[in-house]
Structure 1
Amino acid sequence: MPERLSVHLNRDNPRDLQPEAASLETDRSFVLVFENHGGPIHVHLRLDDALAAVSEPAATQVYVDEGQTRGVEVAIPSDHPPTKGYVELSTGYGAEQARVNVTVTAERKDGGPDVAVDDSLAEKSGPDDDGESVALADVALPTAAAAAVVVVAAALTVSISDSIAMLVGVLALLGGVGVAGYMLRA
């Protein structure tokens, strides 16, 4: 996950730039998070030659609306050489400026891979099998079939004589018991 550095805009004065830290040491890509505390503002980013040789910002002109927070990633490839440089931030056509010194190290600070992977990731995971859980797909088709049988039986019962209606009702009851048995077995 990229490291983050917040930069507060318009906090004390219009066009004000206040990075939370004057320097950043990283071994990977990082994100400058612009938090605007005032009116809309444009921020310009410029990397010095040393830092520009090993990284690339997602944007160099950033518009941050009133009360908005916006992040800009500065991408650094995994095979980068170590370097020191800076990101210069400016607002108000250069009237306000701030600089963040950046040290890009070759080795990981935490000594691990780019993505920390726990051994439990290799284990198959699924829903908790307590023996009683049933998926919706397992219930939907038999339920729809049982409902169709009941509707057909009701329609036949209304339209035919009493003795045949009794037979259709019994068949519908047996069909419902069959579906219930199937559901209990599954």
Structure 2
Amino acid sequence: MPDSLPVHLNRTDIHSLEVPNEFDATGSFDVQLRNHGEALHVHLHLDDSLSSIASLDATNHHVQAESDRLVRVTVDGDGPVRGKLKVVTAYGAETRYVDIYIPEGGVENEPVIVDEELSRPQPKPAGKSDPSLEDLSPGPILAAGGFTALIAGLVTLVLTGNVLMTVGVVLAVAVVLGLLSVAVRSA
């Protein structure tokens, strides 16, 4: 279970803000915004030292009346780092600072949660063939083959000077291309 930093909103008065003086995190943690009254906005800010290894997805949060909201502080780097988390309610009506300490190796202490679904083999969709053959169409193959047959015929004609041999080479390449086209269509 990840660490959680409790922040009480509207518990004693409108826009009141109660936070602990300090918080030790062993890696990424949640800021638990617990609203005891009317809906309000909360702004969270990491100082420079904390933001060097940690981040927030968003800094401004609307917390509904009588509700809880979790805000994730993701620790991506290694400590030790000591810094401040600034918590502001109602667009500046109240401001508090929490001293945050992230020890050395804090990220390594986080558990890796693996879903059991990953251990099961995924079935292949029915009726699908080899994906490498799905995108092949005979048109480009025949065009490339026709070009190859023409080049082979011209080379044969230039080297031998024999028209019958040239026609034979072109026909042989055409037969191979036809067979390749049939194979692609049936795949």
TM-score bracket for this pair, using the shorter chain length: 0.5 to 0.7
Task: Give the counterpart letter for 2:110 in structure 1.
Answer: D
Structure 1 partner of 2:129? none
Name segments (4+ residues, structure 1) moved above 3 Å: none
1:115 maps to which of 111, 119, 126: 111
Q: Which whole-Å CA distance do the structure 2 matches of 1:54 and 1:103 have between them? A: 12
Q: Which whole-Å CA distance do the structure 2 matches of 1:113 and 1:44 have between them? A: 28
Map 1:46-61 to 2 at 5 A.
46-61=45-60
Structure 2 partner of 1:27? 26
Q: Which whole-Å CA distance do the structure 2 matches of 1:104 and 1:28 have between them? A: 7
Task: Give the counterpart letter for 2:68 in structure 1.
Answer: T
Q: Which structure 1 residue ranges, 5 or more long, are not aligned?
A: 118-186
RMSD over aligned Cα atoms: 2.3
Preserved contact between residue 79 and residue 105 of structure 2 (Cα < 8 Å): no
Normalising by structure 2, report the TM-score.
Answer: 0.56
Preserved contact between residue 82 and residue 102 of structure 2 (Cα < 8 Å): yes
Identity %: 32
1:63 positional shift: 0.5
Query: Size of the alignment, in residue pairs?
Result: 115
1:12 positional shift: 0.7
Change (3 A) 1:113 1:105: closer
Q: Which structure 2 residue ranges, 5 or more long, are not aligned?
A: 114-187
Preserved contact between residue 17 and residue 95 of structure 2 (Cα < 8 Å): yes
Normalising by structure 1, report the TM-score.
Answer: 0.56
Q: Which whole-Å CA distance do the structure 2 matches of 1:114 and 1:29 have between them? A: 8
Map 1:61-72 to 2 at 5 A.
61-72=60-71
Structure 2 partner of 1:8? 8
Structure 2 partner of 1:179? none
SS at match of 1:51: helix
Map 1:1-186 to 2 at 5 A.
1-19=1-19, 21-77=20-76, 79-107=77-105, 113-115=109-111
